[in-house]
């Protein structure tokens, strides 16, 4: 099968929920799960989501609003409803065309009277005009002539089934967030305006459906609006129906247009009708061709790996509102309501690099979301009796904490340093000094303030301890001096100091403006410096091993082979409380730190850390496989790296952890998978502003080809186990360290190196 297509027949899991997750399609602004348009579904199973549309179910906690089902459709033969629960479906095939980003559904139906129908449905959510959805239905008689009825509309009777953050607990309950405000019916165009109950957002969905020579009738009942077509369908004949949908929210328009959302949506719908399906599809495909030209990774010797990796890349594209600085990306993107749609550290550490190197504007907007919620982060710090800005573990429409558990929401504080790290990473990869001047420096200073306030000074030992924190290893309990958090916090503080020093020397005006806004004193800078010099870093000199935290070596050892049967999370077998006292690691912690701050660790320390932590890691987080693949590739553990990489790119495709069906796509793992091949096997990473290339491409992959934006220039890499080829496609000359040797790359002077 094509490496550009995902066919339901090739998947090892055929459960409805799983297929709905896998065949979710989106355009960043919105997404729809791959549910059956013709099959009756419960109100919370008809899931379509819009980026940034949240409502409170219990203040201050929000959920990502499940919006009306604009795909709902029905078939009638001789005035009898075709019930998809009772008829024989002789064949059902779903195909995701990844190059075009379209979903094709095909059914062969056999009715009780022996009549057979072929039903095709193809749909796309336009990437060119992100408010537009197009669906084309084709209905063919295979063995009869009779009266065909086709009905399609919008079902507003939808709700949310809110899932508890604690994966071991039952769902919170079912909530309805939208109320109909107004319905407009005119010229076979129907628009529905709804409002969220507490956040006060408005949503308008408008649609029409067209079929040559057949005029529809309007149908309206409780929370359901539709158009119905009736015609004679002869044996062997095909009837086609084209549906156009236009969707806007009050978040998408300027203030004076919010009261005219119906007009905005109807105007967009009329524009779609005048352009027609083929032109809209062409614009959509052309735009995706441009995106894939930059984002695609080809692997000449392993098309199966290429295909799965491409699917992960597509998830990163479809779930990011790349032009919107007021939203971020949830842990399951727009594919599911798991974690209430909240944004985590997944974005900055695992997803941002993909955008940073393939779509710089998207990366900038993700960070601008953090800047736009900086005041909320300040309020979080104030409420927790500390200084500066403390970013929440989980957030949505603003920067207020959405996590309702103390041990994570108040203790897993490394996210504040993760965001600061991403700010610096953005600058080093792009050279965008204006971003630091206008946004980044303020984030770095306020987060550095937080850390200096959060550390506790031990006067007797003249050191600073970080008390009661939880690192990425969520099985480590709430502990002391988690090395990951301490090191990342220090990096945060040091970068604030360095940038203050830089602007004091090169552009004092920037510092003066910040002094007026947030105040910066010499005493404060003295504390900044003092903290970075006196924090406690846990390190065993004899073993050359960095210790995870002060309690870790006291934990009870356990042989994972005795308790970990498959890739299902261990907390399903062992009580979470008990896991806190075993010497196990939920996901990469020290090893992840070594990838983020490679300059702080030598090769021996990385190898020692691998040998100690890798055997005791449960990989009960979807983020862990790819992290181990990346560092494994970097330290020469190639076989292990390949095994971990294959698990990561297969995580959703093969339902490796057996939760894709009930939790949606793991978007963070998709980003981590991309990093594992680019930063791991291809060995491309930025350290202290310097681009490094140190590849370790498996022989069986053949040539790996991809493009990256680095420091404003577009580069094309073709790397195999035998040679490295780097070309400058556009932009200025750029210096690169290739295998430790500094090389200059220009348009007329590509880099070509043969490997042993």
Phi and psi at residue 207, to the nearest 5°: -150, 160
389 Cβ neighbours under 8 A, 6+ residues apart = 374, 377, 378, 380, 381, 416, 443, 446, 447, 449, 450
Identify the pLDDT of residue 165: 75
pLDDT in tens, 663-710: 999 999 999 999 999 999 999 999 999 999 999 999 999 999 999 999
459 Cβ neighbours under 8 A, 6+ residues apart = none
Whose tokens are 């890691």? That residue is: 617
Instruction: Extract the residue ranges of the chain whose pLDDT is less than 70.
Output: 1, 166-170
Helix (H, G, I), strand (E, B) or coil at 158: coil
Torsion of CA 18, 22, 23, 28, to 10 degrees: 130
Distance CA 63, CA 391 (A): 19
Cβ(65)–Cβ(165) under 8 Å? no
In this structure, the number of other CB atoms found within 10 A of the CB of residue 381 comes to 22
Identify the pLDDT of residue 99: 98
Helix (H, G, I), strand (E, B) or coil at 48: strand
DSSP string, 530-551: HHHHHB---EETTTTEE-S-TT
Identify the pLDDT of residue 168: 65
Phi and psi at residue 490, to the nearest 5°: -65, -40
Pairing of strands 116-125, 734-738: unpaired
Identify the pLDDT of residue 1: 65
Ordered structural domains, the chain, with CATH: 35-294 (2.70.98.40)
In this structure, the number of other CB atoms found within 10 A of the CB of residue 524 comes to 15
Pairing of strands 456-458, 463-465: antiparallel
Identify the pLDDT of residue 167: 63
Pairing of strands 690-693, 734-738: parallel
Cβ(293)–Cβ(673) under 8 Å? no
User: Exposure pattern of 201-220 as b/e (b: 16+ CB <10 Å)?
Assistant: bbbbbbbbbbbeeeebeeee
Stated as kind and residue range, the H or E segment containing 573 is: none
Distance CA 657, CA 649 (A): 12
Separation in Å, CA 505 to CA 176, 501, 508, 509:
56, 6, 7, 10
Whose tokens are 């959060």? That residue is: 454
Burial of 49 (0-12, 13-18, 19+ CB in 10 A): buried
Separation in Å, CA 342 to CA 161, 163, 515, 732:
15, 12, 33, 39
């Amino acid at each position: 099968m094509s490496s550009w297509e995902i066919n339901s027949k090739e998947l090892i899991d055929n459960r409805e929920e799983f297929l709905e997750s896998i065949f979710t399609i989106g355009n960043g602004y919105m997404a729809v799960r791959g549910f059956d348009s013709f099959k009756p579904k419960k109100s919370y199973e008809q899931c379509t989501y819009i980026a940034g549309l949240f409502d409170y179910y219990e203040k201050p906690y929000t959920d990502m609003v499940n919006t009306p089902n604009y795909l709902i459709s029905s078939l009638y033969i001789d005035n009898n409803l075709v019930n998809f629960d009772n008829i024989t479906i002789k064949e059902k095939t779903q195909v995701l065309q990844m190059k075009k980003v379209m979903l094709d559904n095909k059914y062969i139906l056999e009715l009780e009277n022996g009549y057979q129908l072929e039903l095709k449905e193809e749909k796309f959510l336009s990437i060119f005009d992100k408010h537009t959805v197009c669906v084309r239905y084709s209905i063919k008689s295979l063995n009869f002539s009779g009266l065909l009825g086709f009905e399609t509309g919008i079902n507003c009777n939808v709700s949310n089934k809110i899932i508890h953050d604690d994966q071991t607990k039952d769902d919170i309950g079912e909530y309805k967030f939208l109320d109909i405000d107004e319905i407009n019916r005119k010229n076979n165009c129907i628009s529905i305006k709804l409002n969220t109950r507490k956040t006060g957002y408005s949503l308008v969905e408008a649609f029409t459906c067209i079929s040559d020579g057949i005029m529809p009738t309007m149908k309206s009942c409780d929370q359901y609006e539709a158009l119905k077509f009736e015609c004679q369908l002869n044996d062997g004949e095909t009837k086609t129906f084209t549906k156009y949908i236009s969707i806007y929210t009050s978040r998408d328009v300027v203030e004076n247009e919010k009261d005219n959302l119906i007009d905005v949506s109807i105007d967009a719908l009329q524009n779609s009708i005048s352009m027609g399906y083929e032109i809209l599809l062409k614009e959509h495909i052309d735009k995706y061709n441009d995106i894939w030209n930059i984002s695609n990774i080809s692997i000449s010797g392993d098309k199966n790996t290429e295909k799965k990796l491409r699917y992960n890349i597509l998830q990163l594209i479809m779930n990011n509102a790349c032009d919107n600085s007021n939203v971020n990306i949830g842990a399951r993107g727009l594919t599911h309501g798991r974690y209430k749609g909240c944004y985590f550290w997944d974005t900055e550490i695992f997803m941002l690099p993909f955008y940073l190197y393939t779509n710089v504007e998207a990366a900038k907007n993700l960070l601008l979301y953090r800047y736009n919620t900086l005041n909320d982060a300040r309020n979080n710090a104030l409420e927790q009796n500390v200084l500066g800005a403390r970013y929440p573990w989980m957030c949505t429409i603003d920067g207020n904490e959405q996590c309702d558990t103390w041990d994570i929401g108040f203790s897993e504080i490394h996210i504040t340093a993760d965001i600061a790290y991403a700010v610096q990473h953005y600058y080093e990869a792009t050279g965008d000094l204006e971003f630091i001047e206008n946004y980044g420096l303020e984030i770095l200073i306020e987060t550095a303030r937080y850390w200096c306030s959060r550390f506790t000074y031990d006067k007797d030992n003249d050191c600073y301890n970080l008390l009661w924190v939880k690192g990425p290893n969520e099985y480590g309990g709430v502990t002391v001096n988690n090395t990951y958090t301490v090191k990342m916090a220090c990096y945060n503080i040091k970068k604030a100091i360095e940038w203050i020093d830089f602007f004091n020397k090169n552009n004092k005006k920037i510092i003066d403006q910040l002094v007026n806004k947030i105040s910066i004193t010499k005493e404060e800078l003295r504390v900044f410096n003092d903290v970075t010099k006196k924090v406690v870093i846990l390190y065993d000199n004899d073993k050359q091993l960095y210790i995870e935290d002060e309690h870790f070596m006291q934990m009870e050892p356990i042989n994972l082979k005795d308790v970990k049967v498959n890739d299902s999370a261990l907390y399903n077998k062992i009580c979470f409380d008990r896991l806190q006292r075993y010497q196990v690691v939920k996901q990469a912690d020290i090893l992840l730190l070594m990838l983020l701050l490679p300059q702080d660790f030598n090769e021996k320390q990385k190898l020692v850390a691998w040998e100690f932590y890798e055997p005791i890691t449960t990989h009960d987080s979807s983020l862990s496989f790819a992290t181990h693949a990346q560092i494994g590739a970097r330290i020469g553990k190639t076989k292990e790296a390949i095994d971990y990489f294959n698990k990561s790119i297969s995580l959703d495709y093969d339902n490796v952890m057996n939760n894709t069906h009930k939790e949606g796509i793991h978007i963070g793992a998709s980003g981590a998978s991309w990093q594992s091949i680019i930063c791991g096997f291809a060995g491309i990473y930025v350290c202290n502003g310097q681009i490094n290339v140190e590849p370790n491409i498996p022989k069986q992959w053949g040539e790996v080809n991809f493009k990256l934006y680095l420091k404003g220039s577009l580069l094309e890499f073709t790397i195999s186990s035998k040679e490295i080829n780097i070309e400058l496609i556009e932009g200025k000359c750029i210096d690169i360290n290739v295998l430790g040797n500094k090389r200059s790359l220009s348009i007329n002077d590509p880099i070509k190196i043969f490997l042993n």
